[in-house]
Structure 1
């Protein structure tokens, strides 16, 4: 390896959400950012910008769009045009802007739960009606319940919110699954908002990411795809994301929903995104190998602990762990009292689960396992 992901990085007292939430005695493994330094090329690009010393209004580098287009074709076999891309200061605002396109409060959005909690917040902020359909457990993986989706869909259902790769259950949906979802949406004239922020964090080498918009021109015409380098290259605090919207009318409506509300990404965001996408591929590959080792260790050890169950992940660095028992104050408070900070499943509409971030040094993952053993002894 060229990069030392084992090297600890001190993040306490740096205004880190992750490290400042809990008491200093608690190992934080909750929010979805990693404890690794970003690629050296990203750091160099930002330092050069600082050295220049002028931080005025900045438009995106033309090269950034070209790099994104090239990357999507090479890594994900999806050919996009530059005019389809709308740059954003964050992915969550893109989720909210997508649901704002639906208009009246009686319109509904559908999603499969548990799911990344901003999906539910975006539905509530409309206000919209949220039609939540629980995932089915099939063997050692989670699957969309198409029968229940068909039963719940009404004439008021206007959009399906997709998370692929999925947060928090870690699925990378197959072409067959995506084609079935595409048919479901086309038959009911539903728009699709597809959050694909984890698409470059595939752990299972037998799996590949497929953007649902690449399935067919018809489904591309109904889809808003949200992407970002933030999770992969650990630059979430800089704020650079993008929407890919092939349909001109839909794209104009999306721009209108964000106009005057969402700012452009900053100069720092542009430079970091460009450097990450242009120069960070070797770093990304080594990161994936390191995360896979953490995943495999955690999977084996967690499933040895009575009262816990973890299914293998296709992607992400976010373990979705089922637990048995009732704990006063909830699982987050209980595990924090033992020295481990996690995200409670209730946050994702997943009672009886917690999410644990293993995008950290192996020593921290080992420490987390020891805490879990004691907490569930």
Structure 2
């Protein structure tokens, strides 16, 4: 395996950016928003440099070799053979979530999802005058699972769309075939569409766990599914703005495209260049990244186990740790750790207060310092009896 450097910190303070910019001029280590502190893969950087040698950046649609790279990459990595005409190119997955809400049902219809979940899932239905319905995932024997009976009672004749996050952000589950089959059965019995955000599908951490796109289960479910993917999380290129929807059913694809008109811009040209390079040549870098992330995940698990009042379940995918702070007695866990010099995502934004989300996609020295700050802050609080 080629050698890639994930250990050397890269100074991101010198460039504009949300992650480090949030705490400019403050001694706070940002482990919040879901982008990693690693350089993009060499294959991607080389492809971008080559494209920059041509001085014209005109309007551009997806070209055949890009489409082939995506089709071949999904078949290789997820055993799902898609057709090129199923692809609808987008600037981002969040656009896709909102388009799905607009394309399915009518104003006042219901969109179901399970919490905690990536915050745009909670806001997209309201943006299209749909009603959000949620039920929480439940922790059973150290595993986040669907409360199947509760979900059944939440659905109604006006439930027109299920928004699924798989692999799940923030709990890190890779839903198995039994769970996906149960969701498919629900969709068929209640006749609703599925919009599946699978942006983290390239970040499955455990070799014994495989990501299965829900639309790959059979042709019937494929016809009622919008699958959203992007290279942005796996290869750490989110600001290049290139994503795609995979929509096998022609009528559903037409409705989705109809909602894009006049609102959704084309993906970024350089993002498409990067996407082709990532799917075609980014495999060795991804393999090295996953090995590094596994060790980071294990470091977080060990550290959290020694922190008073904190627990977590090992994520099967993503570079995100979902940490339960409820037993620590913290009124505002995110603020508590921010005051201690670690910037984390507040669980309230995901629909589950009392938790924080920690991004361990960073050099190990940075992660160790952040975990040490958290440990010391909790121990100091415990020692003072506050």
TM > 0.5 fold call: yes
Q: Is the Cα–Cα contact under 8 Å of residues 309 and 329 in structure 2 kept in the other structure?
A: no
SS of equivalent residue, structure 1 residue 320: strand
Give CA-to-partner distance per residue, 1:319-351, whole Å, 9 cap, x none.
0000034545x2222211110000000010011
Deviation of 1:103 after TM superposition, in Å, equals 4.0
Aligned to 1:241: 243
Give CA-to-partner distance per residue, 1:65-117, whole Å, 9 cap, x none.
11111111111111111110111111100010001013432200101100000
2:6 counterpart of 1:5: yes
What CA distance in whole angstroms lies between the structure 2 residues aligned with 1:235 and 1:152?
Answer: 37
168-177 vs 61-70, which moves further? 61-70
What CA distance in whole angstroms lies between the structure 2 residues aligned with 1:346 and 1:166?
Answer: 17
What CA distance in whole angstroms lies between the structure 1 residues aligned with 2:163 and 2:247?
Answer: 15
SS of equivalent residue, structure 1 residue 57: coil
SS of equivalent residue, structure 1 residue 265: coil
1:118-133 map, 5 Å: 118-133=120-135
Q: Is the Cα–Cα contact under 8 Å of residues 308 and 328 in structure 2 kept in the other structure?
A: no
| Number of residue equivalences | 376
SS of equivalent residue, structure 1 residue 133: strand
Aligned to 2:310: 308
Give CA-to-partner distance per residue, 1:292-315, whole Å, 9 cap, x none.
000011111111111100111100
What CA distance in whole angstroms lies between the structure 2 residues aligned with 1:151 and 1:108?
Answer: 14
Give CA-to-partner distance per residue, 1:189-230, whole Å, 9 cap, x none.
010000000001001111000000011111111000000000
Q: Is the Cα–Cα contact under 8 Å of residues 110 and 157 in structure 1 kept in the other structure?
A: yes
Give CA-to-partner distance per residue, 1:110-131, whole Å, 9 cap, x none.
0110000000110121121111
31-40 vs 56-65, which moves further? 56-65
1:157-172 map, 5 Å: 157-172=159-174
Q: Is the Cα–Cα contact under 8 Å of residues 61 and 270 in structure 1 kept in the other structure?
A: no
1:19-168 map, 5 Å: 19-23=20-24, 24-168=26-170
Aligned to 2:338: 336
Aligned to 1:199: 201
Q: Is the Cα–Cα contact under 8 Å of residues 8 and 361 in structure 1 kept in the other structure?
A: yes
Q: Is the Cα–Cα contact under 8 Å of residues 318 and 356 in structure 1 kept in the other structure?
A: yes
What CA distance in whole angstroms lies between the structure 1 residues aligned with 2:328 and 2:209?
Answer: 34
60-69 vs 216-225, which moves further? 60-69
**5+ long unaligned stretches in structure 2:** 380-386
236-245 vs 297-306, which moves further? 297-306
1:164-313 map, 5 Å: 164-313=166-315
Output the TM-score relative to the length of structure 2: 0.95
Aligned to 1:18: 19
44-53 vs 33-42, which moves further? 44-53
**5+ long unaligned stretches in structure 1:** none
SS of equivalent residue, structure 1 residue 100: helix
What CA distance in whole angstroms lies between the structure 1 residues aligned with 2:238 and 2:108?
Answer: 34
Q: Is the Cα–Cα contact under 8 Å of residues 167 and 317 in structure 2 kept in the other structure?
A: yes
Aligned to 2:383: none
What CA distance in whole angstroms lies between the structure 2 residues aligned with 1:257 and 1:326?
Answer: 46
What CA distance in whole angstroms lies between the structure 1 residues aligned with 2:268 and 2:112?
Answer: 33
Q: Is the Cα–Cα contact under 8 Å of residues 104 and 193 in structure 2 kept in the other structure?
A: no
SS of equivalent residue, structure 1 residue 354: strand
What CA distance in whole angstroms lies between the structure 1 residues aligned with 2:276 and 2:104?
Answer: 33
Aligned to 1:371: 373
SS of equivalent residue, structure 1 residue 110: strand
Aligned to 2:353: 351
167-176 vs 55-64, which moves further? 55-64
Deviation of 1:167 after TM superposition, in Å, equals 0.1
SS of equivalent residue, structure 2 residue 234: helix
What CA distance in whole angstroms lies between the structure 1 residues aligned with 2:106 and 2:280?
Answer: 42
What CA distance in whole angstroms lies between the structure 1 residues aligned with 2:377 and 2:189?
Answer: 48
